[in-house]
């Protein structure tokens, strides 16, 4: 049996379930901040394996969901400019803002292409010297090094028809903004981000915010192991940081990746859909790379699309409200016409609740 299969083995899983059941002594809310955790929890039915006292809520860790409406507006402007090949990751296509999405623009003729990596976008620029290629750079510390390496290469090779619309965000700043005063008792920290940043970067959750935290991988075993540690801390009124993903994460992370992020980007304030402006939570290109900034290069018309004020994503992301509390839920806001962040991703809190509720009503 491979290690990989071991992580999905029923009896290993059962012993973790037993431990969690025995130690869940009071109602508590555990937040997973990473979109891939949210996907994995849904994929493996992990909520159905936990005692009722444990509530799992999804935090703002899906980079697609937290890209705000005005950033999407800028993307729409750029994508509609003649001569531009606009490239992005596949799941950005469906993100709504106002009455538009990139998918709709693609349907109506804009040259929008899905790429799997910013390097693919750079290659498109090399192959199409008469066109301008813009890459919509979205993601956390996990994808930012790739974008930085791509910019670095474009700079070295003096490729001038390539630029990025930078919407990169960093995770710790968002957690610092979100957690204080929230109903969240403990945090499952993002394993992929920690591979880059190192485990230590999340020490503040335990030390300063006084919440137990566990860096977790994405197999059901990893997630249940993290929950087991968190439940134990909650029971003992303790707050530690646990590295439950030691096969990929160490204390200090990937220094090379951190250095290239620092070389190309600097921290900037930025807006998160559902959470608003968070200081130093985003990345912007350093001045010496500003030739690669699509906003500076093309000066797209500023588009003001504001989030619907009735949307309760913010409270839902903080674990304070449930999707059904929101007056837009299942009315204006559905998976086909999402208004807020939690409905955008198929596995967001609102989208999942919507599906399950509809089934019950049938």
Partner 1 sequence: MNDKHITLAYGSGGDKYHQLVKEVFVPAFANPYLQSLSDSALCSIDNKKIAMTTDSFVIKPLFFPGGDIGRVAVCGTVNDLAMSGARPLFLTTGMIIEAGFPVDELKTICRSMAAAAAEANVVIVAGDTKVVDKGECDGIFINTAGVGIFELPQELSPALVEPGDVIIASGEIGTHGMAVMTARHNLDFSPPIASDVAPLNSLVAKMLAVSGAVKLLRDPTRGGIASTLNEWADDIDMSIEIVENNVPISPTVHAACDLLGVDPFYSANEGKLLAIVDAGMAQEVLNVMQEHPLGEKSAIIGQVTEDKPRGVYARTSIGSKRIVMTINGEQLPRIC
Vertex 108: Cα angle to 346 and 121 (nearest 5): 70
Nearest Cα residue to 352 out of 311, 68, 362, 338: 338
Q: Does 14 bind partner 1 (CB under 8 A)?
A: yes
Minimum Å gap between C-beta 72 and partner 1 is: 16
Q: Are strands 213-216 and 84-88 parallel, antiparallel or unpaired?
A: unpaired
Q: Which is nearer to partner 1, 206 or 316 (CB)?
A: 316
Q: Which of residues 169-188 bind partner 1 (CB under 8 A)?
A: none
- Which of 59, 63, 217, 319 is the binder for partner 1 (CB under 8 A)? 63
Strand 186-190 and strand 213-216: pairing?
Answer: parallel
Query: What is the rounded CA–CA span in Å between residue 228 and residue 14?
Result: 12
Q: Tell which one of 1, 48, 52, 82 touches partner 1 (CB under 8 A).
A: 48
Q: Which residue in 116, 156, 237, 299 binds partner 1 (CB under 8 A)? A: 116
CB of 296 or CB of 358, closer to partner 1: 358
90 binds partner 1 (CB under 8 A): yes
Instruction: Measure CA 128 to chain center.
Output: 31
- Whose Cβ is closer to partner 1: residue 103's or residue 303's? 103
Interaction between residue 261 and partner 1 (CB under 8 A): no
Which of 43, 131, 157, 296: binder of partner 1 (CB under 8 A)?
43
The reply on whether position 337 binds partner 1 by CB under 8 A is yes
Helices (H) and strands (E) in the chain, counts: 16, 11
User: Which tokens is 261 given?
Assistant: 């992020």
> Quick check: 345 binds partner 1 (CB under 8 A)?
yes
Least distance (Å) between residue 94 CB and partner 1: 6
Strands 265-272 and 276-285: antiparallel
Choose one: 20-28, 46-54, 289-297, 306-314; the region binding partner 1 (CB under 8 A).
46-54
Q: Near partner 1 by CB under 8 A, which window of 57-65, 71-79, 293-301, 322-330? A: 57-65
Give the per-residue contact string, 118-157, with partner 1 (x = CB under 8 A; - = no).
--x-----------------xx---x--------------
Q: Residue 256 interacts with partner 1 (CB under 8 A)?
A: no
Query: According to DSSP H, which parts of the chain are helical?
Result: 3-6, 10-23, 35-43, 69-80, 102-107, 118-127, 144-156, 171-178, 191-197, 203-207, 220-235, 255-264, 294-298, 313-317, 341-344, 349-361
CA dist 301 → 74, 134, 329 (Å): 7, 16, 32
DSSP codes of every residue in 90-123: GGGTT--BTTB-HHHHHHTT--EEE-SSHHHHHH
CA distance 268 to 329: 33
| Contact residue for partner 1 among 59, 61, 217, 300 (CB under 8 A) | 61
Query: If we measure between CA atoms, which residue out of 53, 58, 57 comes closest to residue 20?
Result: 53
- The binding site for partner 1 (CB under 8 A) comprises 8-10, 13-14, 34-36, 39, 42-46, 48-49, 61-64, 89-91, 93-94, 101, 103-104, 106-108, 114, 116, 120, 138-139, 143, 220, 335-337, 345-346, 355-356, 359-360, 362
């Amino acid at each position: 049996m491979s290690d990989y299969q071991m992580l999905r083995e029923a009896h290993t899983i059962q012993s973790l379930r037993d431990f969690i059941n025995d130690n869940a002594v009071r109602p508590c809310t555990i937040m997973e901040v990473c979109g891939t955790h949210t996907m994995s929890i849904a994929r493996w039915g992990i909520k159905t394996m936990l005692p009722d006292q444990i509530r799992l809520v999804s935090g703002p860790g899906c980079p697609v969901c937290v890209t705000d409406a005005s950033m999407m507006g800028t993307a729409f402007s750029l994508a509609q400019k003649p001569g531009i090949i606009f490239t992005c990751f596949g799941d950005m296509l469906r993100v709504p803002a106002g009455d538009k999405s990139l998918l709709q623009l693609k349907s109506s003729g804009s040259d929008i292409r899905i790429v799997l990596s910013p390097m693919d976008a750079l290659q498109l620029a090399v192959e199409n010297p008469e066109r301008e290629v813009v890459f919509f750079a979205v993601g956390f510390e996990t994808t930012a090094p790739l974008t930085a390496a791509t910019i670095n290469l474009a700079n070295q090779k003096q490729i001038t028809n390539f630029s990025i619309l930078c919407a990169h965000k960093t995770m710790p700043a968002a957690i610092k903004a979100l957690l204080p005063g929230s109903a969240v008792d403990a945090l499952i920290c993002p394993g992929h981000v920690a591979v880059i940043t190192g485990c230590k970067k999340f020490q503040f959750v335990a030390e300063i915010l006084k919440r137990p935290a566990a860096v977790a991988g994405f197999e059901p075993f990893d997630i249940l192991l993290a929950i087991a540690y968190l439940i134990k801390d909650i029971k003992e009124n303790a707050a530690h940081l646990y590295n439950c993903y030691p096969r990929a994460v160490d204390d200090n992370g990937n220094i090379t990746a951190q250095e290239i992020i620092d070389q190309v980007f600097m921290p900037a304030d930025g807006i998160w859909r559902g959470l608003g402006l968070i200081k130093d939570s985003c990345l912007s290109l350093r001045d010496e790379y500003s030739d690669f900034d699509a906003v500076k290069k093309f000066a797209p018309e500023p588009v003001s699309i504001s989030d619907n004020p009735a949307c309760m994503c913010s409270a839902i992301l903080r674990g304070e409200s449930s999707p059904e509390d929101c007056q837009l839920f299942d009315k204006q806001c559905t998976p086909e016409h999402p208004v807020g962040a939690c409905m955008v991703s198929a596995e967001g809190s609102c989208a999942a609740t919507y599906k399950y509720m509809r089934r019950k009503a049938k």
